[in-house]
């Protein structure tokens, strides 16, 4: 079934440990899944990472990923972004590992089912 209209006060949507949704993900973050399209796997969520969290390596995804940094800071490689900020990663684009010293909250949208491929480096 395609995405259905949904109206939610975010306080009523529970936080779920990311490990319950993606068991291989780096531990620590929590998610509020806001919508999922059962036909395409597209999804939108609120993603909250604790201070000191990081991904293990540069990564890519087989779907488009869009992020809206709402609070905190996210560091991609050596570049630090403060909220508010926007990121768009086309399918297959390898982005640097992400980390945060302060923690962050962002809205994340995937155009298809979540999958991640890790890489040794970001191409130049």
Alpha-carbon distance of 57 to 19, in angstroms, equals 18
| Rounded CA separation 70/60 (Å) | 22
**Per-domain boundaries in the chain:** 31-104+116-124
pLDDT for 21 equals 83
Q: What is the pLDDT of residue 28?
A: 94
pLDDT digit string (tens) for the chain, length 124 residues:
666 777 778 888 999 999 888 888 888 999 999 988 999 999 999 999 999 999 999 999 999 999 999 999 999 999 999 999 999 999 999 999 999 999 999 999 999 998 899 999 998 7
Write down the CATH number for the domain with range 31-104+116-124. 2.60.120
Given this model, what pLDDT does residue 26 score? 85
Residue 61 pLDDT = 94
Cβ–Cβ < 8 Å for 28, 55: no
Predicted pLDDT at 124 = 79
What letters, b where the CB count within 10 A reaches 16 and e where it falls short, cover 48-81?
bbeeebebeebbbbebbbebebeebbbbbeeeeb
């Amino acid at each position: 079934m395609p995405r259905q209209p949904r109206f939610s006060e975010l306080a009523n949507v529970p936080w779920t440990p990311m490990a319950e949704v993606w068991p291989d993900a780096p531990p620590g973050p929590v998610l509020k899944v806001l919508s999922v399209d059962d036909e395409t796997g597209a999804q939108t969520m609120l993603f909250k990472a604790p201070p000191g969290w990081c991904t293990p390596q540069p990564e890519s995804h087989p779907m488009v990923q869009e992020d809206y940094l709402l609070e905190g800071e996210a560091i991609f490689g050596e570049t630090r972004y403060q909220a508010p900020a926007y990121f768009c990663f086309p399918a297959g684009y390898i982005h640097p590992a992400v980390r945060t010293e302060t923690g962050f909250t962002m809205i994340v949208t995937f155009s298809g089912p979540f999958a991640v491929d890790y890489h040794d480096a970001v191409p130049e």
